[in-house]
Amino acid sequence: MQTRREAKEALFEQFARVTKALGSPRRLELIDLLAQGERSVEALARSTDTNLTTVSAHLQALRRANLVATRRDGTRIYYRLAGPDVGALYVQVQRIAEAHLPDLPAVATAFLGEDDSEEIGREELLRRLQDGSVTVIDVRPGEEYASGHIPGAMSIPLGQLAERLGEIPAGTDVVATCRGPYCVLSHDAVRILHDHGITARRLSDGVLEWSAASLPLERAGA
The span from the CA of 157 to the CA of 80, in Å, is 22
The C-alpha atoms of residue 174 and residue 128 are separated, in whole angstroms, by 11
Distance of alpha carbon 193 from alpha carbon 188, whole angstroms: 9
Question: Catalytic one among 178, 183, 189, 200?
Answer: 178
HSE of 29 in the Cβ direction (CA atoms, 13 Å)?
12
Contact between 207 and 215 (Cβ < 8 Å): no
β-strand partners of 175: 136, 201
Helix ranges (H only) for the chain are 4-22, 25-34, 41-48, 52-64, 84-100, 104-112, 122-130, 142-147, 158-161, 184-195, 207-212
- Burial category of 138 from C-beta neighbours within 10 Å (exposed 0-12, middle 13-18, buried 19 and up): buried
Respond yes or no: is residue 178 known to be catalytic. yes
- Residues 208 and 179 sit within 8 Å (Cβ to Cβ): yes
Select from 170, 100, 108, 180 the least CA-distant residue to 140: 180
Active site residues: 178
